[in-house]
Chains A and B, each alone.
Chain A
Amino acid sequence: MTEMMLKVEDLHARYGAVEVLRGLDFEVPEGNVVVVLGANGAGKTTTLRALCNMCTTTGTVLFEGDDITRAKTADIVRRGVAHVPQGRGTFPELSVMDNLKIGAYTRKDNEVGADVDRWFEIFPRLEERRDQLAGSLSGGEQQMLAVARALMCRPRLLLLDEPSLGLAPLIIEDLFERFAQLNKETGLTMLLVEQNANLALDMADYGYVIESGEIALHGPAEQLKNDPAVQEAYLGA
């Protein structure tokens, strides 16, 4: 049995009077890629936001055994949880290089430069555009920057919020290949929220399906792929 990197118990989240998550329980084992599937408005984005304490929550979130439910967003990041939100977490008015430096803000070691080179190897387009403003990049390049900037803090858990949103199919495939490569080469644990169930389940080890803020279904990725209900709802079969 692998050690649990993230363990979530009875997670509720609300925006004002509206309860969006109604008691989620899920786990992310170390080294795994776990995907959360669901329709628009099911609470996928809120799940990731709740993990980083970006909305009002109750319940328990354990990261590497420590309770981070009440920790501040910045301190959760410092513990090693990097979040790539839909808003992308980057700064359009700053250069690609400055964005990466901000990503490494929490680090005090002197290997930041080496890490920049490493992510430039995986995302070569970013190196070509290192001095351009992030806001001037194409959608795909911005998403690459968003991921690279999140990786700069050397996270142990990467939260990805619909990285495929708004991107062309070829770019999405390319991006997901790089995610798979990252997971394989570095053993980086990922929690991925996606509408593109096909690609996500191909890469993932385990999956959860949420409906109206509750977990409707979960199981190994292979099994979910062959589940008739999932196929009908998310795989367009």
Chain B
Amino acid sequence: MDVVLLLQRIFDALFNSAIYSSLALALVIIFRSTGLLNFAQGEMATFSAYIAFVLLAGAAPGVKGGGLASWIGAPLVTPVAIGLAVIIGIGAGAATERVLIRPLRNAPELALVNVTIGILLALNSLMGQWWGTGPRVFPPFFPSSPGDHIDIAGARIRYSTVGAWLVLLTLLLLLALLLRYTRAGLAFRAVSIDPVSAALNGIRVGPTLMYGWALAAGLGAIAANMSANSVLLEPTMMVRVLVYAFAAATLGGLDSPKGALVGGVVVGLSQTLIPAYVPFIGFELSVLPALVAMVVVLIVRPAGLFGTQRIERV
């Protein structure tokens, strides 16, 4: 076996792994707190990338919202545009919880899942309507010229991959610190475990869930803005990513941030490596190994690799 080629394939896969992990982490945050699978997570993220796109384009012909963007100074430079777009994404995430989810807090979970599917479809159509369904060129988040890579043992790891991991690990660290050492983090953990008990401790459940949605939307927005350069910006760009992120989150345990990270890496690697070395699974079937792994985990260990085995009172 060609070791350099294997290493190269791993390095290439790790970029996708970082994106899957980020989106899986967003799914986990909302699942832990709201007890809900947010099918709109990918579209919400894509929407933020389109906001960045508009802020970058300014009043260019054919760009919906460009006039509005130029009113605040667009075209903006890439980091500022993406930073602003992520902040807008965070605000939109909070607003989604407040306006569409909280009023239905007493509705059955299935109804809420349907709401998130509705948001998915609505955002997808809206983006198509405003910015067209065709792919758009999006600037790179990290230096991505042909020479921007590090050589390790003959294989090349691109700056964008290193950068994506640095961003992801920084966010994970911040999240862990937030959950462990702040008042808001304590409230968030309490609400995740038991909203009724949380309210009995004086914690306002609604606003706490809203912060969770904001946090998740921010993670998704960063993931979308990091990957929009390589996959090209289009309304459906996160649809496949969401499927992989679901697989990653399920694999790791839907309520475990650590599981989301590990699940994302496993799914990203399996998607590249298994088709490369297992001849009867072509690249067209690259999603298959991840989904098979997900089903096997669900049968053998329903809580996922790192998910909480619930402690029950008797």
Contact = CB atoms under 8 A, between A and B. Distances in A.
Contacts of A73: 199-200
The listed residue with most B CB atoms (<10 A of its CB), out of A74, A98, A135, is A74
Given A89-B200, A89-B201, A91-B194, A102 B311 contact: no
A77 interface: yes
Interface string A90-107: 111110001001110110
Contact of A94 (B187, B193, B202): B193
Interface in A51-83: 52, 54, 72-75, 77-78, 82-83
A93 B200 CA distance: 17
B22 to A, nearest CB: 25
Interface string B16-40: 0000000000000000000000000
A54 B200 CA distance: 10
A80 B244 CA distance: 47
Given A54-B196, A91-B193, A93-B193, A98 B201 contact: no
B186 A103 contact: no
A74 to B, nearest CB: 5
B199 A77 contact: yes
Interface in B212-267: none
Given A98-B186, A105-B186, A93 B311 contact: yes
Given A87-B196, A92-B313, A94-B193, A102 B308 contact: no
A207 interface: no
A220 to B, nearest CB: 30
23 contacts: A52-B200, A54-B196, A72-B204, A73-B200, A74-B198, A74-B205, A75-B204, A77-B200, A78-B202, A83-B200, A85-B200, A88-B197, A89-B197, A89-B200, A91-B197, A92-B313, A93-B193, A94-B190, A105-B183, A106-B201, A133-B311, A135-B313, A149-B201
B199 A91 contact: no
B203 interface: yes
Contacts of A203: none
A13 interface: no
A204 interface: no
Interface of A: 52, 54, 72-75, 77-78, 82-83, 85, 87-94, 98, 101-103, 105-106, 133, 135-136, 149, 153
A102 B201 contact: yes
Interface of B: 183, 186-187, 189-190, 193-194, 196-205, 308, 311, 313
Nearest to A142: B313
A84 B245 CA distance: 40
Given A87-B196, A94-B189, A98-B186, A103 B201 contact: yes
> Nearest 4 pairs between A and B by C-beta?
A106-B202, A135-B311, A77-B202, A73-B199
The listed residue with most A CB atoms (<10 A of its CB), out of B197, B202, B203, is B202
Contact of A92 (B196, B199, B202, B311): B311
A74 B197 contact: no
Contacts of A85: 200
Nearest to B197: A89
Contacts of A77: 199-202
Given A92-B313, A93-B308, A102 B203 contact: yes
Given A74-B205, A149-B201, A153-B202, A102 B196 contact: no
Contact of B187 (A72, A83, A105, A133): A105
Contacts of A82: 200
Contacts of A88: 197, 313
Given A93-B311, A135-B313, 19 more contacts: A73-B199, A74-B198, A74-B203, A74-B205, A77-B199, A77-B200, A85-B200, A88-B197, A88-B313, A89-B197, A91-B190, A93-B308, A98-B186, A102-B187, A103-B201, A105-B201, A105-B202, A105-B203, A153-B201
A91 B197 CA distance: 8
A85 B187 CA distance: 19
A74 B186 contact: no
A103 B212 CA distance: 21
Contacts of B186: 98, 101-102, 105
A102 B205 contact: no
The listed residue with most A CB atoms (<10 A of its CB), out of B186, B193, B197, is B197
Contacts of A149: 201
A83 B200 CA distance: 7
Contacts of B199: 72-74, 77
Nearest to A159: B200
A88 B197 CA distance: 8
The listed residue with most B CB atoms (<10 A of its CB), out of A90, A98, A103, A149, is A90
